[in-house]
Amino acid sequence: MIVEICASNEMASYVGALESEGFEVVTYSCLDRCEFCIVRPYAYADGKLLETTDPEALLSLLRAMKEEEDVCLTSDDDW
């Protein structure tokens, strides 16, 4: 899963943790969501915008999405 993060968003401090869990993280200097960047954590996961009220909630959401993706990829191997 590719996770895109704005360097100005608080999620930027979680890049190392995400990479250690197997996420491919791309950090941009700006993702053109400046009005939200300071207010709440957000990231794009495989191109889909995810916003939550706190970083831990976003991490949980990303982990759940990755787990679901991993299950789907494993199921495809059974063919």
pLDDT tens digits for 7-42? Answer: 999 999 999 999 999 999 999 999 999 988 889 999
| Per-residue pLDDT at 72 exceeds 90 | no
Q: Report yes or no: 58 and 9 within 8 Å, Cβ to Cβ.
A: no
* Separation between Cα atoms, residue 53 and residue 70, nearest integer Å: 26
pTM above the 0.75 mark?
Answer: yes
What separation in angstroms does the CA of 30 have from each of 5, 7, 10, 67? 8, 7, 13, 28
